[in-house]
Structures are given as C-alpha cells and as structure tokens.
Structure 1
Amino acid sequence: MTSTAAPPPPATGPAVFRANCPHCRTSFELRADDLRLAIGASARTTFYSFTCPECGEAVRKPAPERIVELLTLGGVSTMRLA
C-alpha cells in the first residue's frame, strides 16, 4: 500500500490590505506589519490603527468581527485590551 501526501498549498505572498485615510482621503495598500489590531471587551473598544503613508496622520478605525478575522488571518499584530 502506498501513501501519497497531499500537495502543499500554493505559495502566497505576504498579506496586503487596502485602506484609506480619512484625513487626506488617499487610498493605499498596507502590509500586515503596518497595521495594529486592538481587541477590547466590546465592539466600541475593538479597532485597528495605522499611520497614513501619505500624510503621516494616525488613523484609528472600528474593527467589526469580520475585519478582526481578516486582519488576524493576515498576520496583523494583535493586542488584547483588559
């Protein structure tokens, strides 16, 4: 009896996320290490943040459950808030 291993999943590059800045209204792509995810006790305290590469402003946006899932799967650093 021969055993065959399943082929490895296709190679993918690093996760890239589309974002926009509410300050300068520019759209751009960010890598996982450009983003930070904070998970709080409620939807009001769960958010992601980044610094706009165009204008340098700090941006903070709410992170509903689906966004949390996508950012986490994409390798974004996550911090749990007490």
Structure 2
Amino acid sequence: MSLMSDITAAAAAPGGGVLFRAACPDCRARIELSAEALRLAIGGSRRTTFYSFTCPECGTPVRKPAGERIVELLTGGGVRTLRLTV
C-alpha cells in the first residue's frame, strides 16, 4: 500500500487514541497524525468523499479521496466526520 495515496492506522497514541500514517504530496514527509488532526467528509459520491489534514512539516493543506476502506478506518479511529448533503 502506498503512503502517497492511502492512509493507514499506525499504532495506539499516548492516551489511548489511534495514530494514522500519511504522506504529504507537497514535501513528501511521512507523518503520523492523531484523529484530531484529520477531517473526513462523506458526500453522495466517490468524488465528494475525502479526508483532509494540514501537513505538520510544511503547513500545506492536503485533501485526498477516501474510498470505503479509508472511511471505515478513519471513522473507526475516531476521526471527526462531516456528512455532506444536497
């Protein structure tokens, strides 16, 4: 699985939360993010379902598509979710 296109659950964070591994497409840093650092938007289609975060290394806002597996991973890990409706 490529860190450039997917996010993975890394390990338990201090305090019992989950850390997620991701990569910044701008600076290519491989980073670990807490659930609080990520946002998930679930829309009515694959094009409108995505996760986002700000790279802690370079400050770039990152937005990537989230398929069903990613949605399950992030919601199961406590990532705040916004449901987009028409």
**Which residues of structure 1 form unaligned runs of 5+?**
1-11
CA RMSD of aligned residues (A): 0.8
| TM-score of the aligned structures, taking structure 2 as reference length | 0.81
Amino acid at match of 1:49: S
Alignment of 1:31-70 (within 5 A): 31-70=34-73
Instruction: Say which structure is richer in strand.
Output: 2
Count of residues paired in the alignment:
71
Structure 1 stretches of 4+ moved >4 Å: none
The one-character-per-residue Cα deviations of 1:59-78 (angstroms, maximum 9, x if unpaired) are 00000000000000000000
**Which residues of structure 2 form unaligned runs of 5+?**
1-11
Paired residue secondary structure (2:75): helix
Percent identical among aligned pairs is 70
- Select the structure of larger CA radius of gyration: 1
The one-character-per-residue Cα deviations of 1:33-81 (angstroms, maximum 9, x if unpaired) are 0000000000000000000000000000000000000000000000000
